[in-house]
Structure 1
């Protein structure tokens, strides 16, 4: 009998090599010229779109066949393509309910990263703690924090270098944790890893709320953050497991909302909750919400990893993907750049709105609404158009889907993204009314959403069997960049000022606009020249 790892065409490749098996795009070229893109976008937005992309003109996109059990060949798979145990055959209501709960938890975890930052001042008074480094650790030790240390306005401007170093340590540890959870989920199944990590996050909120000293609080925050990292890294794999190609754009958009919106809402909610009730209730609220969400996931979730018995691979898979796939490598670099720019961009926001515009601790979180609304606007646009554009381009391509059909709109958003650096930087530098720099953050939020979500969905479509590991590679590499780039922020803005400092970041973002153009035009060639089979 052949072993599972030795299966050849007709079985294992259809499961294990997502770049080859699901996208046999033979001779028909992609429709990605500028005129086709403009026509597609126009047709996407017109009222009669539903007719344009109906099943008669844009049929369901054919994805890979699922491996079926064949004991003679030593293969353990599904009991046919319609096996009800296969997550892609779940009822539609169950799929979307499960996605909603996982997305809600993915929102809660980054929310927890920044929610405590405005309330540190109240905790410091209760514990009689004045050490600035320790106060910084109570916030940034939460490993899953997205843009946390830049929000430490309550500690004062003298802690900028300390919080930056702490941010570096946090991101290094965070990237290490991210490296191993997704491969474990592909070996043992999503359920055991995701559920275990989520409950780990929930339980440690009790320790945070009952902490009698700052040392206990730091340790509990550390472990809560480790548990909270799972939903962020495994979500892409869940989307690939549950949804066919033509629905992944919408599903990824919903799931992607949490890591971007959560850190924006966190300081707003945490500031007012800390002032009006107590800082401990931040953790009680996280406990209640997290526990309720995870109970719902447990009720709905059978195993949502369809190939767990077929993927006995080592924990080095994310590293192999990074170095064997030019697509993963180059897109990791691009996403890391955008993520690093976000960190550098945020290093000035708290200080600007507290010192220049006189915002209080409770109100300072409102300064992030500009970028938060931008995130939401980009999310809505991508969610409503990405799958439709894919269906339209697939129909034009005689029914043959290519992953690169996810990318044309990314070119537009890559051009929008740099606008914020010039707008926000110079209006804040000249002390223009506070609403103007807040509005200036909107294009960056829109642009970042429009870049991140197509890349994540594109990676899922290219490597469906490795979706969680590929997403972990993207997340870990951008966390490493986020660990080191903030070190240059304070010195850069001290030397250049807000205007020219942010302008430098804007010019850097403009220099990378060709990246999405290259992948839109040559992505298929790259995939075919460097196929991945792990």
Structure 2
């Protein structure tokens, strides 16, 4: 992740700097992707401090000398319009809206195909439901692998090129799915669709951080998070009727057409936001104009691209394995996210077998999960920022901490097991179909709130390495989402729908201990020397 030594620590306070230096400090304080920390008590010791120390190397004197280096290219003061955080609200939200559409499209494709599974079994002469379920979940394995490569590439070449290339390849592989002649071919192209489509999920949070300040981030992150959460639950609604009317292949044709429209919108609207890429472009332009070959970007680590790429690939894994905060939050987020795909992959079988729903009607049951997601976003927006501001004012002299993002998850953590209990036992005894869907709605609310809150926590807590922390969480979440549906039908066959969902509910009850633990001990864990990860 591109940065320089003077981005961290020991700089004179803003009031002692001239306007140019103040502008640079303003950018660094608020921009996690630019190699900065949020200067409050919660950021006193963040993962990667050892790397910062190595980069700083020579101390205060060399930092001040670097500040005066005329060959360093930075933003032109705090109001530089080239800085994405200074873009007009219209331009910011246009980029966020298109990014949200792309991020919605990718998870939509993961589940829209689900209602067509019985037709696939028939067309390809197989009666193995686990294999058909794998065709759905293999897409999520692609989403798990993609971030490990795409996130580092975005730091080398910028974010927009990742979005555009990914969109085009996604269309190509989706068309290949529509033309598949056997289930092995379909499975392979589904994996490739997930792999190339992972870009907005892998680096979308980084783009949000590029564009927004800490105070703006909650709303923007909620809008962007709707895609991964709402897409999987809306897809089967359209997919069910489409499969019934035109067959499962037309699901992929419609996805390809929709992706084509969104790709055109992204080509027109999306602009580069990665500060390292933007400053590097500015540096190259100034070198050409001035003939000064010594100019270099403030965010240039002067590390060979291959070394930077390899470091960036390893970083998410190191955070996941060595940072207890990242690990615990990722496991919690991954478990609740897996509930979406477990329900999505089994709704068709459960409601057709227990309630006799047709292929078209069974798609409508996914609306309950989608409504739960929407209600979850509304609740998160209504209480999330207010709670954070209240806690900051009452406990920390108005300075926000990542832990202040946690309280909404306390409510959400209760909704999930309640929803699973209602869904499981009412389907078990075939109580009127609206009641189990109420359970799915409650679970969807809880899932949405927890995912948005954990994403915000990771961005606020890991600042400099927010993209890597989100990539680590996304990888684990996708692995859980891909593997849980594989054993769902067998679990239901063995335990029944009531006890099968109760088992998942009991696990989610045990996880209720995680939010209070992070709220009261999260800052200590982040600042403890034992858990400082050298990145």
Same fold flag (TM > 0.5)? yes
Counting only pairs closer than 5 Å after superposition, residues 18-167 of structure 1 correspond to structure 2 as 21-25=37-41, 72=69, 75-119=72-116, 129-132=123-126, 158-163=127-132
Offset at 1:457? Answer: 0.8
Give CA deviations for 1:170-215 in whole Å, capped at 9, x if unaligned.
5444422222211221222111212211222134344445667777
RMSD: 3.3
Range with bigger deviation, 491-500 or 468-477: 491-500
CA distance in 2, matches of 1:196, 1:294: 10
Q: Assess if the C-alpha contact under 8 Å between 2:110 and 2:139 holds in 1.
A: no
CA distance in 2, matches of 1:489, 1:275: 24
Structure 2 partner of 1:272:
241
Range with bigger deviation, 416-425 or 161-170: 161-170
1:23–1:403 Cα change, 3 Å:
farther
Structure 1 partner of 2:448:
449
- Classify the secondary structure of the residue corresponding to 2:260: helix
Give CA deviations for 1:258-301 in whole Å, capped at 9, x if unaligned.
11211221112122233345655434433333233233323333
Structure 1 partner of 2:158:
189
CA distance in 1, matches of 2:444, 2:227: 14
Offset at 1:344? Answer: 4.3
TM-score (norm 1): 0.78
1:16–1:384 Cα change, 3 Å:
closer
| One of 212, 220, 226 as aligned partner of 1:251 | 220
Give CA deviations for 1:15-41 in whole Å, capped at 9, x if unaligned.
77999820422799xxxxxxxxxxxxx
Offset at 1:446? Answer: 0.7
Offset at 1:338? Answer: 1.9
Offset at 1:84? Answer: 1.1
1:71–1:293 Cα change, 3 Å:
farther
CA distance in 2, matches of 1:123, 1:499: 28
Offset at 1:505? Answer: 1.5
Structure 2 partner of 1:238:
207
CA distance in 2, matches of 1:116, 1:347: 10
TM-score (norm 2): 0.78
Q: Assess if the C-alpha contact under 8 Å between 2:141 and 2:191 holds in 1.
A: no
User: 1:261 and 2:230 equivalent?
Assistant: yes
Q: Which ranges in structure 1 are unaligned for 5 or more consecutive residues?
A: 29-66, 133-157
CA distance in 2, matches of 1:360, 1:73: 71
Range with bigger deviation, 496-505 or 166-175: 166-175
Give CA deviations for 1:403-425 in whole Å, capped at 9, x if unaligned.
11111111111112110121111
- The structure in which a higher percent of residues are helix is 2
Q: Assess if the C-alpha contact under 8 Å between 1:18 and 1:463 holds in 2.
A: no
Q: Assess if the C-alpha contact under 8 Å between 1:425 and 1:503 holds in 2.
A: yes
Counting only pairs closer than 5 Å after superposition, residues 350-499 of structure 1 correspond to structure 2 as 350-396=348-394, 397-499=396-498
Q: Assess if the C-alpha contact under 8 Å between 1:345 and 1:502 holds in 2.
A: no
Q: Assess if the C-alpha contact under 8 Å between 1:88 and 1:243 holds in 2.
A: yes
Q: Assess if the C-alpha contact under 8 Å between 2:368 and 2:438 holds in 1.
A: yes
Counting only pairs closer than 5 Å after superposition, residues 9-20 of structure 1 correspond to structure 2 as 9=9, 10=11
Offset at 1:167? Answer: 6.1
Offset at 1:92? Answer: 0.5
1:165–1:267 Cα change, 3 Å:
closer
Q: Which ranges in structure 2 are unaligned for 5 or more consecutive residues?
A: 12-23, 45-63, 278-298
Structure 2 partner of 1:304:
273
Q: Assess if the C-alpha contact under 8 Å between 1:115 and 1:282 holds in 2.
A: yes
